[in-house]
């Protein structure tokens, strides 16, 4: 079973993503802010990480930058940025910092989310 780390502060979005991913057979663990997310990223061992860009305490770009400075204990799979803005320069910055891809939250359906995660793993 593939292990997914979901770093998302919006409770409604988080609940939907968790439900959809679990139904698709993934094991999902959550972090609700950037500091908690970074701690879990540093431990490593995730098959994929879904990372919200806008987070309290430490944003998604901060997590990507910190990850580059100190690699995780166990290797992580690809990181998928979750964003509300489709043409945001933040996406390019996130990709430059090591994210594999980005999805716009308003455009993603449950099926597309599962398909995207499966394609990354």
* DSSP characters over 60-85: HHHHHHHHHHS--SB----EEEEES-
The confidence score (pLDDT) of residue 85 equals 79
CA atoms of 103 and 91, how far apart (whole Å): 9
pTM of the model: 0.95
**Lookup: tokens for 55:** 């987070």
Mind listing the pLDDT tens digit for each residue in 28-76? 999 999 999 999 999 999 999 999 999 999 999 999 999 989 889 899 9
């Amino acid at each position: 079973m593939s292990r997914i780390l979901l770093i998302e502060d919006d409770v409604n979005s988080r609940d939907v993503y968790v439900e959809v991913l679990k139904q698709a057979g993934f094991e999902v663990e959550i972090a609700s802010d950037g500091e908690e997310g970074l701690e879990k990223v540093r431990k490593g061992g995730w098959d994929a990480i879904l990372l919200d860009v806008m987070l309290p305490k430490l944003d998604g770009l901060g997590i990507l930058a910190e990850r580059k400075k100190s690699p995780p204990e166990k290797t992580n799979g690809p990181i998928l940025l979750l964003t509300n803005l489709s043409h945001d320069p933040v996406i390019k910055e996130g990709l430059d910092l090591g994210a594999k891809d980005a999805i716009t939250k308003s455009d993603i359906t449950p099926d597309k989310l599962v398909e995207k995660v499966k394609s990354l793993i």
